[in-house]
Each structure stands twice: as C-alpha cells, then as structure tokens.
Amino acid sequence: MNSVVQLYYKSFVGLSKPIWLLSMVTLINRTGAMVIPFLAVYLTQVLHFTKGETGIIITMFGLGSLAGTRLGGYLTDKVGYYHVQFWSLILSGVLFIILDYVHDFWPLVGYIFVLSTIAESYRPAVMVAVSAYSKTGNVTRSFGLLRFAINLGFSAGPALGGLLAARLGYSWLFWVDGITCIIAGIVFRLTLKEMAVNTATTESEKTSMHLPPERTSIFQDKKYLLFLGASVISAIVFAQFISVIPVFFKEELLFSEATIGLLIASNGLMIAFFEMPLVYKLEHRKNLLQIVLVGYALIGLCYVCFLGLPKGLFMASAAIVMITVGEMLCFPFGNTYALQQTNSHNKGKYMAFYAMSFSLAHVIAPSFGFQVAEHFGYPVLWMLLIILAILSCWAIIVLEKKSK
C-alpha cells in the first residue's frame, strides 16, 4: 500500500501551479458535460429521428469541430491561447442552454455546427496552454493531469446526466452543461494569467525527438501527415464510443439511461484513477510511438469483445475496459508526440491540425457507424472497425520505421 501511495504521489508532484489551475477549470467544465454523451440517445429516443438523421446531426457536430479546431489554431497563433479559451467557454455555455429549445431537424443541423465550432476552438488553445503553463520536462504529465481532470469530470457528468434524463428530463442536461461552461470560463479568467509559451526542451527530450526545421507548410512534413492519418483512423474507431455504442446499449442490450451513464462514467473514472501513474511510469520512454501503437491495438480489441462475448453487462464492461486502457496509452503520449514535432513558430497550427484529426473523425464516424448499423447490422460494423484499428496500427509501424 505504501508503494502505491508513493507511486501516486510521484505521479502528481512537481507540476506547476498554473497547470493545476488549468486542470481545475477543465474539471468544472467536464463535470457538467452531459449533452454530447447522450446526444444520439436524445435524438433517437426523445426527438424520434432515424439513425440516418441522427448520424447527419452528429456528423455536423464533427464538421463544426473540424472548423472550430482550425479556427482555434489560427486564432491561437494570432491573438493567443488565453482569449480563445475564455471566449470559447463562455459562448459555448450560452449555446448549450439555447440548444434545449431547438427541436426541428434542419435548424438542429445548422445549430449543432455553430455550437461545435465555438466549443471546439478551445481544444488547440488548451494544448498550447499546456506548453505555456508546464515546467520543462513535465509536458506529458501535464497533459496527463489535464486528462485526469477531463475524465474525473467525465465520470461524474454522464452518470449524473443519466439520472437527470431518466428522472427529470433531458432539458436539465442542456442547462447544467451550459452553466458549468460559463462558470469554468469565469474561474479561468479569475485564476489564470496569460504566460509565454515554453519552448525549452530537456536533454532527454532532445534525444527522444527530431526537432523539426522551420517549414512554410505543414504539408511538407510527411511524417507528421502520416501520424495525423493514423490518428484520424484510430479516432474513427474510438468515436463510436460516444455515438453508436450508447445507442447499441439502449437498443440491443436494453440498458436504461442510468446504466448507460454509469458505463460511460466508468471510462472516465478508470482514467482518473490509473492514467497519471501509468504516464509517470512510461513518460521517460524514448519511443512514444510504441506506446501509441499498443493503445490503438487495445481500442480495436473493444470491438472484438462485442463479437466474441455473450450479450450482457459483462460484455459491455469488458469492452469499456479495453477501449479505456487503449485511450490511456495512445492519447496522452500522442499529444506529446504531436507537440514534439512543433517549433516556436507553428505550435498553434500543428496542434490545430492534430486536434482536427479528431474532429475529422467525428465527421466521418457517426454517419459511417449509424449507416452501417442500420443497413447491415452491428456485427458488420464491429468487423469493419477492427479492420480500421489494424490499419491505424500498421500506419504507426511504418512511421516508427521512418523515424528510425
């Protein structure tokens, strides 16, 4: 027990005060994150849209995310990460509240795009903020602490959201989500000041990465583009977790909203408890791509559980464990690898393109997942996702060889 306590202590010690404050803001924001995990269920069960219509609406969320991350990266380089983060939190909070009153299909399509554009402009800004607020040599653990806050909040948000939806109605989800965004923005403004981006690297970091030359275009960086491609494919596989899988739990396994909320919450809870010690143990490994590779493989194994295990709570739980462990490995170390490929003049642009890889996945994943499930059934979808997971692993293997 003493060894476990020491491991947790070493995982968190030495991180800067601003990183802790930034993580506190993120925790407040994510604790109220209830709308997105239940959006597909809300659209199909409450507004009675078809799977195809639901896929289109969630695809618009992905398109807005794509536009938002690109816009956020541009604004981060132009006006700074600080202002982008603040206004993204405040405006998205207002938009989440108004979403409660938009019920028709085409208005929802346009509104979801606008909301997502504003909300997702936050993502590249916060990635650059980690670089500004973290101490030299602590970037991966700083990302880990931020993800700890995200997932601790995410473990509470869906669980509470499931209870609110089941007992009081879905309107509560929109209001709680919006208000917590606004509170997070106010706390951010009151507790954090803008700081210069940290461009220093430790000796160990210098030996574990190839510092990029000054490039006029990201499209000249072929290795980074390959990494982005692998990220897109893996993110398409992972994104079914917040779109198709909750509907699968509802329709095929007949779980209640409360049960679905608890299953989604268990993902965040596991990450909150285990990711930081895992990052601490692995952060000094020189080959980050090997860690990312294992993470991609485990995300693919989630869908092997759906095909190979009897339907029920055990199958759902095993799949959640697989996708969660994979997420803990590939995302924090993927963030660090992406940041290591930047220089002092292009952090916003590079991190925006990295964030856009996830946004692009959210454009493709919902329509792809729902259309395949509706026309060919869930087993065919699971098999296709396993093939995509294998493809993402192959891309990382090729990238690792090129890096050597």
Task: Kindly compute the dihedral angle of the four CA atoms of residues 108, 109, 110, 116, in this order, to the nearest 10 degrees.
Answer: 90
Rounded Cα–Cα distance for residues 226 and 209 (Å): 16
Q: How far is CA 100 from CA 39, 251, 274, in A?
A: 11, 24, 35
In this structure, are residues 345 and 335 in contact, taking their beta carbons and an 8 Å threshold?
Answer: no
The dihedrals phi and psi of 212, each to the nearest 5 degrees, come to -75, 150
Which residue, chain included where needed, has tokens 């956020």?
72
Structure tokens at 293: 């590779």
Burial class of residue 332, CB neighbours in 10 A (0-12, 13-18, 19+): buried
What is the residue-level pLDDT of the chain in tens, covering all 404 positions? 667 677 777 777 778 899 999 999 988 888 877 787 788 888 888 888 888 888 888 888 878 888 888 888 889 888 888 999 999 999 999 999 999 899 889 999 999 999 999 998 988 888 888 888 887 777 777 877 887 788 777 777 777 877 887 778 788 888 988 999 999 999 999 999 887 665 544 443 444 444 444 555 678 888 999 999 999 999 999 989 878 898 899 888 989 888 888 888 888 788 877 887 888 788 777 788 999 999 999 999 999 999 988 889 999 999 999 999 999 899 888 888 887 887 766 776 787 788 778 878 877 888 899 889 989 999 999 999 999 999 999 999 999 988 77
The separation between CA 54 and the C-alpha centre of its own chain, rounded to angstroms, equals 21
Report yes or no: 379 and 244 within 8 Å, Cβ to Cβ: no
pLDDT at 215: 52
In Å, what is the CA distance from 50 to each residue of 28, 354, 383?
A: 33, 32, 23
d(CA 139, CA 16): 10
pLDDT reported for residue 98: 93
| Amino acid making up residue 273 | F
* Residue-level pLDDT at 208: 40
Which pLDDT score, from 0 to 100, does residue 211 have?
Answer: 44
Residue 199 to residue 284: CA distance in whole angstroms: 19
**pLDDT digit string, tens, across residues 16-61:** 899 999 999 988 888 877 787 788 888 888 888 888 888 888 888 8
> Using one digit for the tens of pLDDT, what is the confidence trace for 135-177?
777 777 787 788 778 877 777 777 787 788 777 878 888 898 8
Distance of CA 399 to the CA centre of its chain: 23
What region does 213 belong to: left with phi over 0, alpha with psi -120 to 50, or beta?
beta
102 near 52, Cβ under 8 Å?
no
